[in-house]
Chains A and B, each alone.
Chain A
Amino acid sequence: MEEKLSFEYAPAPESRALVTIKPKYGHFIGGKFVAGSKHFPTINPATEEVLSQISLAGKADVDAAVKAARKAYTTTWSKMSGKERGKYLFRIARIMQERSREFAVLETLDNGKPIRESRDVDVPLAAAHFFYHAGWADKLEYAGLGTTPKAHGVAGQIIPWNFPLLMLAWKVAPALAAGNTVVLKPAETTSLTALLFAEVCQQAELPAGVVNIVTGDGSTGALIVNHPGIDKIAFTGSTEVGKIIARAVAPTNKSVTLELGGKAANIIFEDAAIDESVEGIVNGIFFNQGHVCCAGSRLILQESIADEVIEKLKNRMAKIRVGDPMDKNTDLGAINSKEQLLKIRELSAAGDSEGAQRWSAPCDLPGKGFWFAPTIFTGVTQAHRIAREEIFGPVLSVLTFRTPQEAIDKANNTPFGLSAGIWSEKGSKVLWASQQLRAGVIWANTFNKFDPTSPFGGYKESGWGREGGRHGLSAYLKGVSHE
């Protein structure tokens, strides 16, 4: 018998044999894969291995995609009954479930997130969004959005790299259910699952041109935003880019929804269930490496329990398993890109220089790839940059409060307003706090829970409009107020 002093988990890697990555990809336009002209590499951020070459869409490619989407809208999709549209959505959802392992492995390779999360969160939720919206397709008249809700036409959709497939689902499913056709651009660093989704569209025999996918960087996004043939823009990404888009579409007839940044307050009252709160803090900021717009990145902790909670949090953080995202036991994977890693480092350095105390979980980070240990800063005040700016990484800023009103004031003292968390075993306090907080999503005694039936979106600089639920559906229908 091999003697070991402790319970070391042997590597448990998920197989990547399931996925076939082509050396080079084009765009998906009019139901076909078409070759691109210029290419750029997409890498595995955990190893820096080049996975494939992705096409950079220029004006001609975007024009072709918009043209295909318009044609599909005019000739097919707008004439089809909701019931028939729903069948396609159900079919897509089922195929996504059938190919869920393939999607999960590919997502983890391209994005760097742990396979446990892509397998248990991203892919099942993405399929759930298609199932949910499939049910709406033939019931739009009964959604309470007017008697004859009409699609916009062609929707241009730009999605981020943190939940590539899930964000695609949030965008494509409601658009199609409402009767729009789409031109979608995945993020520059994470195009592969969107391209696999294009295969699913073919497999589902979705009419050509209903879904078009063009890959590229910000320049491709700008071509979509400014394209005169597009009726509606949906964007998820940074507040900085969101503002550019808002300016660009302001003088046009385009309808727009924006889901932008956040700096969510996670408020722990002294009467909270402490162990579950600690889990909630960990889930709030370390889920998906903190690459979550609604991450609970500001821990707002009642002073009377601060020492106890921080000590428990550090013990818990020491157990976070950082490393190979393909290992089924990994909790925290790779930072998605070098650029993002540099941003996290820059803001963390600002935390140091402004006098906050940094503590990182002891862990061995791999030599290659982009990594950042789970980190907290204590002694943070409202005036620190790390309490104001979105870090978008596994870095938590800890602030304290003395009275419930102080907690609310600190939580609301931000240009953002996407989400917030409240932890208390006292129901009346939870209800009071949730009424005071200016955030689009408020979790009580939990964090980072998502469901297609629940509208998601922000106040203030966190965005315009909602995604998910009836509210999200309304964004894809004409003449409907969607706030």
Chain B
Amino acid sequence: MNFYGLVDGTEASLKKYLGSLSGVDQVGADARAAMLATRSIKTTSKRWAIDTAITMVDLTTLEGADTPGKVKALCTKAVRPDPTDSTVPSVGAVCVYNDMVEIARTHLDLIGGQHVGVAAVSTAFPSGRASMAVKIQDTKDAVNAGASEIDMVIDRGAFLSGRYIEVFDEIVKIREVCGTKAHLKVIFETGELVTYDNVRKASFLAMAAGADFIKTSTGKVAPAATAPVVLVMLEAVRDFYAMTQVRIGVKPAGGIRNTKDAIKQLVLVNETAGPEWLKPSLFRIGASALLNDLLMQRMKMDDGYYASPQYVTID
């Protein structure tokens, strides 16, 4: 691999590459994100944003209590989020643990959801604390079971102790396992990386190592996808595109529960990375509760009133 010509795979070249990045001023990043949160999205643009957001949802269930029945129900919802309204688009993908991948893929295909992807969390999700051999096998299992997207976690311990080359190598190896069968999303767990400087550094590291998407969080740690963190990641993919002419996707996950939050995310994308990123191949939102709020807001725009929550399906 040539890593876009940015690094040659050695620790020295990685250090030089990461060292060339400009810092992020926390106060300034917070202020910019807060300003963009004041955008007022109404009428036709709100309707467009809701439908676009639905197509970007990675409908997620990542519980110890997940069963085949629960996963199948999720798949049904993913394909036709609103059984009473066929104009509602399908979501981008379902996101499950690796033992549920085959069940999800089979069920999606069965119900006409070939266009909906299956994303598997991988590499000892959510902590990332396992041997490399286990992480590789974990990913192989998911890819072999039909996952079209792999959501791997990085080793935050290695990152925080400055062993960037280990994190880099890990991503490269998982990228190899994914091959051409699966897209690779790299989860940083920004709530554990804490600083925006770290988020920017992790973003550039992961992109050079071969990530197709960079993703904020596992959903298991708070804070998760805060607006400034997503802003910093969107700036990173924008700058990476300027360097390489390659567009990397962004996936905020965790804490985006309602339509307002989702629209704020789309505004961030629109005014930071640019409108080119406003499609499911370059922007996803990892969520579970969000979808129903999007559906209820959509109904409200059509009907002029808020329906009872019983008019949307619980799963």
Q: Which residues of A contact B (CB under 8 A)?
A: 1-2, 4-12, 116, 120, 271-277, 279-280, 319, 328-329, 425, 445-446
Contact B28 A2 (CB under 8 A): no
Contact A425 B25 (CB under 8 A): yes
Cβ of B24: which chain A residues have Cβ within 8 Å of it? 273, 275-276
Q: Mark B57-93, 1 if CB is under 8 A from A, else 0.
A: 0000000000000000000000000000001010000
Chain B nearest Cβ from A121, distance in angstroms: 11
B38 within 8 A of A: yes
Contact B43 A273 (CB under 8 A): no
Contact A445 B27 (CB under 8 A): yes
Cβ of A328: which chain B residues have Cβ within 8 Å of it? 38-40
B41 within 8 A of A: yes
A274 to B24, CA, bound (A): 8
Contact A446 B27 (CB under 8 A): yes
B208 within 8 A of A: no
Chain A nearest Cβ from B297, distance in angstroms: 14
Contact B28 A445 (CB under 8 A): yes
A2 to B275, CA, bound (A): 17
Q: Which of A10, A11, A273, A275 has the most CB of B within 10 A?
A: A275
6 CB-based A-B contacts, threshold 8 Å: A7-B266, A8-B48, A10-B44, A120-B38, A276-B25, A279-B31
Contact A276 B45 (CB under 8 A): no
Chain B nearest Cβ from A134, distance in angstroms: 28
B13 within 8 A of A: no
Contact B46 A10 (CB under 8 A): yes
A262 to B270, CA, bound (A): 35
A1 to B302, CA, bound (A): 11
Chain B nearest Cβ from A307, distance in angstroms: 12
Cβ of B23: which chain A residues have Cβ within 8 Å of it? 271-273, 425
A152 to B217, CA, bound (A): 61
Which residue on chain B has the smallest CB distance to residue A5?
Answer: B275
Q: Which of A12, A116, A276, A445 has the most CB of B within 10 A?
A: A276
Contact A445 B45 (CB under 8 A): no
Contact A275 B45 (CB under 8 A): no
Contact B22 A10 (CB under 8 A): no
A328 to B28, CA, bound (A): 22
B32 within 8 A of A: yes
Contact of B48 among A4, A12, A116 (CB under 8 A): A4
Cβ of B44: which chain A residues have Cβ within 8 Å of it? 2, 4, 8, 10
Q: Which of A4, A9, A10 has the most CB of B within 10 A?
A: A9
Chain A nearest Cβ from B47, distance in angstroms: 7
User: Given A7-B266, A446-B27, A1–B38 Cβ distance below 8 Å?
Assistant: no
Contact A8 B45 (CB under 8 A): yes
Contact A279 B32 (CB under 8 A): yes
Cβ of B40: which chain A residues have Cβ within 8 Å of it? 9, 12, 328-329
Contact A7 B42 (CB under 8 A): no
Interface residues of B in 4-51 (CB under 8 A from A): 22-25, 27-29, 31-32, 38-49, 51
A319 to B267, CA, bound (A): 12
Contact A10 B45 (CB under 8 A): yes
Contact A9 B28 (CB under 8 A): no
B315 within 8 A of A: no
B235 within 8 A of A: yes
Cβ of A445: which chain B residues have Cβ within 8 Å of it? 25, 27-28
Which residue on chain A has the smallest CB distance to residue B88?
Answer: A1
Contact of A10 among B25, B31, B43, B270 (CB under 8 A): B43
B209 within 8 A of A: no
Interface residues of B in 256-288 (CB under 8 A from A): 266-267, 270-271, 275, 278
Cβ of A276: which chain B residues have Cβ within 8 Å of it? 24-25, 27-29, 32
Chain B nearest Cβ from A14, distance in angstroms: 9
Contact of A274 among B22, B49, B266, B270 (CB under 8 A): B22
Contact A279 B28 (CB under 8 A): yes
Which residue on chain B has the smallest CB distance to residue A280?
Answer: B28
Closest 4 CB pairs of A and B: A276-B28, A12-B40, A276-B25, A273-B25
Contact A2 B31 (CB under 8 A): no
Cβ of A271: which chain B residues have Cβ within 8 Å of it? 23
Cβ of B267: which chain A residues have Cβ within 8 Å of it? 7
Cβ of B28: which chain A residues have Cβ within 8 Å of it? 273, 275-277, 279-280, 445-446
Cβ of A120: which chain B residues have Cβ within 8 Å of it? 38
A326 to B59, CA, bound (A): 38
New A-B pairs, 17, CB < 8 Å, besides A2-B47, A2-B48, A276-B27? A6-B270, A7-B45, A7-B278, A8-B44, A9-B39, A9-B40, A9-B41, A10-B41, A10-B44, A10-B46, A273-B23, A275-B24, A275-B28, A276-B28, A277-B28, A279-B28, A328-B39
Chain A nearest Cβ from B204, distance in angstroms: 13
Chain B nearest Cβ from A243, distance in angstroms: 37
Cβ of A2: which chain B residues have Cβ within 8 Å of it? 44, 47-48
Contact B42 A12 (CB under 8 A): yes
Cβ of B266: which chain A residues have Cβ within 8 Å of it? 7
Chain A nearest Cβ from B80, distance in angstroms: 15
Which residue on chain B has the smallest CB distance to residue A273?
Answer: B25
Cβ of A329: which chain B residues have Cβ within 8 Å of it? 39-40
Chain A nearest Cβ from B112, distance in angstroms: 19
Contact of A275 among B22, B42, B52 (CB under 8 A): B22
Chain A nearest Cβ from B111, distance in angstroms: 22
A276 to B42, CA, bound (A): 29
A273 to B28, CA, bound (A): 9
A315 to B38, CA, bound (A): 21
User: Given A116-B38, A275-B235, A276-B25, A7–B49 Cβ distance below 8 Å?
Assistant: yes
Contact A10 B42 (CB under 8 A): yes
A280 to B22, CA, bound (A): 15
A163 to B46, CA, bound (A): 33
Cβ of B270: which chain A residues have Cβ within 8 Å of it? 6-7
Cβ of A273: which chain B residues have Cβ within 8 Å of it? 22-25, 28
Contact A1 B51 (CB under 8 A): yes
A329 to B38, CA, bound (A): 8
Cβ of A6: which chain B residues have Cβ within 8 Å of it? 270, 275, 278
Contact B278 A1 (CB under 8 A): no
Interface residues of B in 217-269 (CB under 8 A from A): 235, 266-267
Which residue on chain A has the smallest CB distance to residue B44?
Answer: A10
Cβ of B275: which chain A residues have Cβ within 8 Å of it? 5-7
Interface residues of B in 187-212 (CB under 8 A from A): none
